[in-house]
Amino acid sequence: MNVTSVASEFSSGPASLDRQGDIVSVYRESFDKDPVFQWLFPDAETRPALLEKFFTVMVGHTFAHGGGVLQTKDYGAVSMYFPPDAVEQPKDVRDRLLDSMRDELGDDSDRTVHLLKMLSASHPCDLPPHYYGTFVAARPEHQGGGLGTRLKKCLFALADADGAGAYAEASSPRNLALYERLGQRRRGPLLTLPDGPPIFPIWRPPSASAPPTHPDTIHGGS
């Protein structure tokens, strides 16, 4: 499926690895107040630097293993995803990702490793082919302008064009409500972090009707 042709319908486009710094900066700015990332990195002073390291690893991993990143308005908002043929990753690839997080985050890596292991273990094995949207965020100055919603719709369009579903996890009740308005639904029990916030698995089946238009956007979290 041609990402550019579908994305253009939504004023979005594929991001390039040579703009990795721009992609990472969106996530660093957006996720500082996200409840899951506040749990991952509880020290507000060190959180921005740790977010930078976390997303540098995640962006590199995404591009290296068959995923992609959508962006809109010159990197005002970004969304990482894996297409159906790259959702399931071999154990050695998952292990290398965890090792990279340990190397980059050092003593601050334990909660991140726990989170990534939990997300991998809880990803449903019985789903039909689907796109996996991992992280979507907009810069603070663009939040409320609908850019995150636009990227979600772009990903849904890619999934529909391939006859695939769309799976993700919402990191806050606010984002869960938006995902549901866009056509995704809770799937299975919520995920729980030790003394941390809940995470909500969500699913949109293949060939679902196009979601209605809403002027909302994703705030911070995935």
Q: Is 79 helix (H, G, I), strand (E, B) or coil?
A: strand
**Token pair 């790259």 in the structure block, residue:** 86
How many H-runs (helices) and E-runs (strands) does the chain carry? Answer: 8, 8
Question: How large is the angle between the packed helices 147-161 and 173-181, nearest 10 degrees?
Answer: 50
- For residue 166, give the amino acid letter: A
Instruction: Write out pLDDT tens, residues 156-174.
Output: 999 999 999 999 999 988 8
Integer Cα distance of 101 and 146 in angstroms = 32
pLDDT band, residue 218 (cuts 50/70/90): very low
**Does the pTM exceed 0.85?**
yes
Integer Cα distance of 220 and 139 in angstroms = 8
Question: How large is the angle between the packed helices 91-105 and 110-122, nearest 10 degrees?
Answer: 160
Q: Where would I find the H helices in the chain?
A: 3-8, 20-30, 35-40, 47-64, 91-105, 110-122, 147-161, 173-181
Q: How far from chain centre, in Å, is Cα 138?
A: 12
pLDDT band, residue 208 (cuts 50/70/90): very low
Q: What is the DSSP letter of 140?
A: G
Those residues whose C-beta lies under 8 Å from the C-beta of residue 90, and which sit 6 or more positions away, are: none
CB 70 within 8 A of CB 81: yes
Instruction: Write out pLDDT tens, residues 2-60.
Output: 555 554 444 567 888 889 999 999 999 999 999 999 999 999 999 999 999 999 999 99
Integer Cα distance of 219 and 30 in angstroms = 7
Fold held by 3-204: Aminopeptidase (3.40.630)
Domain ranges of the chain: 3-204
Q: Is the pLDDT of residue 114 over 80?
A: yes
Within 10 angstroms of residue 40's Cβ, the number of other Cβ atoms is: 23
Instruction: Write out pLDDT tens, residues 52-109.
Output: 999 999 999 999 999 999 998 788 999 999 999 999 999 999 999 999 999 999 999 9
